[in-house]
Structure 1
Amino acid sequence: MTRHLLHLAFLLLLSGPVFTGAAAQTAVRLSERSITIRGEQYLIHKVRKGETLYAIAKAYAVSQEEIMKANSLTRDVLRARQTLLIPKRAQKRHAAGQTHAGDAENRPQERPEPQIEPITPSVPPRNVPRQDAYPENRYDPFRRPAERIFYPLPDTLETVAAEEPAFGDGRLKEIDKHEPLDIAVLLPMQPGMKTNDRFSEYYKGILLGLEALKTEGVSADVRFLNSGASAETVRERIASGQLDGADLVVGPVYAEAFGPIAEFAAQKGVPVVSPLGAVGAENNPYVFEAPPAEDRTYQRIFDLFGGKPGSRSAEANLVLIDHVEHPDTAVLARIETQLGDKVSTISFTGVRTQSQAMDIRLNAVLDKDRDNIVYVPVNRVDALEGVLSHLSSINMNGKYRITVVGTPRWEWLSNINLDLFYKLDVHYPASYHADRSDPAVAEFYRQYIDAFGELPSPYAFRGYDVIRYFGGALSHFGSDMPDRIANRGYDPQLLQVGYDFRRPEEGSGKYRNIAWPIVHYKPDYTIEVIR
């Protein structure tokens, strides 16, 4: 008897999860929104979390194969917020999980539902080399030699000692405004390294920036020091006295070499500028990070185009393109997380045989009666042009109001058909942007070519702007510089989009540049920068 009861209890234990899972199955919400494509009617269904192809097909009383064919699916795995075309049937549809008289007797044996695969953004692991998605001949402003490419997360940007040193209150040493500024520049010039050219260009930009400061009555002496790529080399430079007396330090470039100079800056009351990347030193008020903070990249974009109540996109139709072959998975995940159920995600493939299907899919998700904000997290030129060309072709007669939102890397794309940018009202956040129609930019080109016999690279622009900004601010404000430049208190005319230095809300720690202006390609074939 006891054995029989134990056996029964064991069977009940096994069956428990089965009933629990069945009860937790997500009910499919049937859509009433329809579209007619080449004489065929379809319902437009937005996949909710937990819905499967099997459940959706059952709810709409169509076969899984019909749905897969209509949407060019190659497997029965769906993503939340994915948009599907459902062939419309005249017969009555059943609500998911709902039974009718006689169904149990006449229904064929059901096969188990396929499981939705978890989708994880391809964010590189901490401190592990990441493969470069760009070809060798493509420009990447943050690229380093293959043996030194690392992308650590913010909490691993520097080696943390057992006890972090006290960095003081951020008060700068007094500056004698009647004497030339003493500026030290530390850049990693290493024999045989490809990066030497770009750092040389950065330094050339600094030299032209110093010449520009002279026209404003600001004189400065600059000393160049080779920082190498290690903290040890920087410590040697400090110990030898080569930085003594400096009023401003620019560099080093790499996070692993920045720690010693950050401590030196705090001890001497000297501002130190990180020229090209985030460097840690979170609690050091003498550190100024010139490149814009990565965590603020899309804040302005989401404010304008994220469907916020009261914004220009409050009633807009938000669409996210998930490119099958060439997605920017990190940006894709970021947009999905931020916008949630407000955005409809559609899969897009560049396979030529699927071209007609892509037009059908885009027509299904766009809305003729509302503004359409289309996020396109794609950075490869041919893949991007494929998406934009489809959007342009289906809107030849202007039936849709489309605004395309891109990524910061669009600023660096070459051989792209910019005509598509203008036609599709493209917006993207820009870390750096120089307007070549600006007389100041044209004059910089002329001076650079005259001085060095070559065209300036983006690195030259950055070197020029950094020295113009900090040299001018230090000369004008002296030891009060940090307080005077914070929150855009100092906004001189620069070649690129400028800086907006902020500290954490509690008012301590380093200064980060949060300026991510938006570059807008307007349909009237002009470009504006939204700051």
Structure 2
Amino acid sequence: VVSPLATLEAVQSPAIYQLSPNPKKKYDKVADLVDGSRDIYMIYAEQYDKEFEQEAKELLHGRPYASYTYSFDDQKSVFTPRDAATPVIETIDTVMKAERPCLFVVLANGETDVDRILGTLSSANVALTERSEKSAPYVVLGTSRWGRFNNIDHTSYFNNNVVMISTYHAKRDVEPVREFDSRYIESYGTLPSLYAYRGYDTAMMFVGGMRSDIDYKMLDKRYAPLQTTYKFERDGETGRYLNQEWVRVNYNNNYTITIE
């Protein structure tokens, strides 16, 4: 049995392969961002992503961080401390001038707030650079749920070195993805969905090897039928074979996207 999309929790069987990545491994690929070498700032807004907040706090494992609530008042961005341990700042420039690299975890849940926060960070960075003042290197950790936003200029992702963790990534300028898209559009007259990509991956990994490679020889091997990588390990508690590979998507300030 192969589950291309669902995370199976109720079913326990050594005959199940789950392509959706293991939830316990979600943030393994961003461990370098919380290794103690960066100052960490959690940026909230009036509406914020509580699930992402919980994941971020688990990722930090008790490491110190400052937390601010973002608001837009009198035509300017305001960052208000959320607790007594977080210092008051007049502008975000104060943080950007820090000696150590920074990690901004943007928990805001609204499109306008996310857009304004990213714009404020990149504008502060540019202003400091133009004044020949030091601006600390920084990364913004976002969430793939930002994909539902329709009006954010993705240039701001590149300007802020945004990093996201995703279950799947198909970059349409990569040759295997482009070829698949072309064949799919020719056949169905529309761009493929996540279901289509996962379905293709499933067929390429399992159909051809149904009588040979699938006989428990898939473990510790990495497969990338299109672009997203899979690596299966057997879960000791459930017996299921779980994909361990999440995708880290990096929006680099040289306007390239790299995945890990």
Match in the other structure for 2:29: 300
Which of 150, 154, 173 lines up with 1:418 in the alignment? 154
In 2, the alpha carbon distance for the partners of 1:356 and 1:407 equals 22
Q: Secondary structure at the match of 1:473?
A: coil
Distance in 2, matches of 1:343 and 1:412, equals: 28
Cα distance, 1:448–1:356 mapped onto 2, change above 3 Å: closer
AA in 1 matched with 2:70 = F
- How many angstroms apart in 1 are the aligned matches of 2:166 and 2:258? 12
**Map 1:397-476 → 2, pairs under 5 A:** 397-398=128-129, 399-476=135-212
What secondary structure, in the 3-state scheme, does the structure 2 residue paired with 1:391 have?
helix
Q: Is the 8 A contact 1:449 1:455 kept in 2?
A: yes
Q: Is 2:54 aligned against 1:323?
A: no
Aligned-partner residue type, residue 32 of structure 2: L
Alignment check: 8 A CA contact 1:281 1:510 kept: no
Q: How big is the shift at 1:356?
A: 4.2
Q: Find the partner of 2:64 among 337, 342, 348.
A: 342
**Over alpha carbons, which structure has the higher Rg?**
1
After superposition, residues 468-487 of structure 1 pair within 5 angstroms as 468-477=204-213, 481=214, 483-487=216-220
Structure 1 pair 461/284, CA: closer, same or farther in 2 (3 Å)?
same
CA 1:508 to 1:363, structure 2 compared with 1: closer, same or farther past 3 Å? same
More strand by share: 2
Q: Distance in 1 between matches of 2:231 and 2:111?
A: 31
**Alpha-carbon spacing, 1:465–1:319, altered in 2? closer, same or farther (3 Å):** same
Change (3 A) 1:319 1:336: same
Contact 2:5 2:195 in 1 (8 A): no
> Which of the two has greater helix per residue?
1
Indicate conservation of the 8 Å contact 1:373/1:405, yes or no.
Answer: yes
Contact 2:19 2:230 in 1 (8 A): yes
Q: CA deviation at 1:379?
A: 4.3
Following the alignment from structure 1 to structure 2, what is the Cα–Cα distance between the partners of residues 379 and 500? Answer: 32
Residues 362-388 of structure 1: per-residue CA shift (max 9 Å, x gap): 234444311111111234322211110
Q: Answer whether contact 2:45 2:109 (CA < 8 A) is retained.
A: no
- Counterpart of 2:179 in 1: which secondary structure? helix
TM-score norm. by structure 1 comes to 0.43
Kept after mapping to 1: 8 A contact 2:222/2:229: no
* 1:42-57 matched pairs, under 5 angstroms: none
Query: Cα deviations across residues 146-185 of structure 1 (Å, max 9, x unaligned)?
Result: xxxxxxxxxxxxxxxxxxxxxxxxxxxxxxxxxxxxxxxx
RMSD of Structure 2 on Structure 1 (CA): 2.3
Task: Work out the CA distance in 2 between the residues paired with 1:365 and 1:347.
Answer: 14
Q: CA deviation at 1:442?
A: 1.2
* Counterpart code for 1:383: D
Name the SS of the counterpart of 2:145 in structure 1: helix
Give the alignment of 1:243-258 within 5 angstroms.
none
Give the AA of the match of 2:158.
Y
Question: Is the contact between residue 176 and residue 227 of structure 2 (CA under 8 Å) also seen in structure 1?
Answer: no
Contact 1:378 1:406 in 2 (8 A): no
Q: Secondary structure at the match of 2:192?
A: coil
Identity of matched residues, %: 27
* Alpha-carbon separation, structure 2, partners of 1:285 and 1:525: 43
Residue 440 of structure 1 deviates from its aligned partner by: 1.3
Change (3 A) 1:379 1:473: farther
Q: Which structure is richer in relative contact order (CA contacts within 8 A, separation 6 or more)? A: 2
Q: CA separation in 1, counterparts of 2:50 and 2:226?
A: 32
Query: Contact 2:17–2:242 (CA<8 Å) still a contact in 1?
Result: yes
How far apart in 2 are the matches of 1:367 and 1:331?
A: 27
CA shift in 2, pair 1:410/1:297, >3 Å: farther
Cα shift readout 1:106-147 (whole Å, capped 9, x = no counterpart): xxxxxxxxxxxxxxxxxxxxxxxxxxxxxxxxxxxxxxxxxx
Quick one: which amino acid aligns to residue 510 of structure 1? R
Find the counterpart in structure 2 of residue 353 from structure 1: 74
Distance 2:205 2:93 in 1: 48
How far residue 508 of structure 1 moved from its aligned partner, in angstroms, is 6.1
- Deviation readout 1:228-265 (Å, 9 max, x if unpaired): xxxxxxxxxxxxxxxxxxxxxxxxxxxxxxxxxxxxxx
Structure 1 contact 425–522 (Cα < 8 Å) conserved: yes
Q: Does residue 233 of structure 2 align to residue 502 of structure 1?
A: yes
| Structure 2: distance between partners of 1:365 and 1:336 | 21
* Cα distance in structure 1, aligned partners of 2:27 and 2:218: 23
- Which position in structure 1 is the counterpart of 2:243? 513
Paired residue type of 2:228: V
Seen in structure 2, the aligned counterparts of structure 1 residues 482 and 426 have a Cα distance that, compared at 3 Å, is: farther
Deviation at 1:354, TM superposition (A): 6.5
Q: Which runs of 5+ in 2 are unaligned?
A: 80-88, 130-134
Count of equivalent residues: 244
2:70/2:78 contact within 8 Å kept: no
Quick check: 1:290 aligned with 2:19? yes
Closer/same/farther in 2, CA of residues 282 and 369 from structure 1, 3 Å limit: same
Asked whether 1:275 is paired with 2:4, we answer yes
- Give the Å deviation of 1:283: 3.4
Check 1:330–1:486 CA distance in 2 against 1; reply closer, same or farther (3 A cut).
same
Q: How has the CA–CA distance of structure 1 residues 356 and 283 changed in structure 2, closer, same or farther, with 3 Å as cutoff?
A: closer
TM-score of the two chains, using structure 2 as the length reference? 0.84
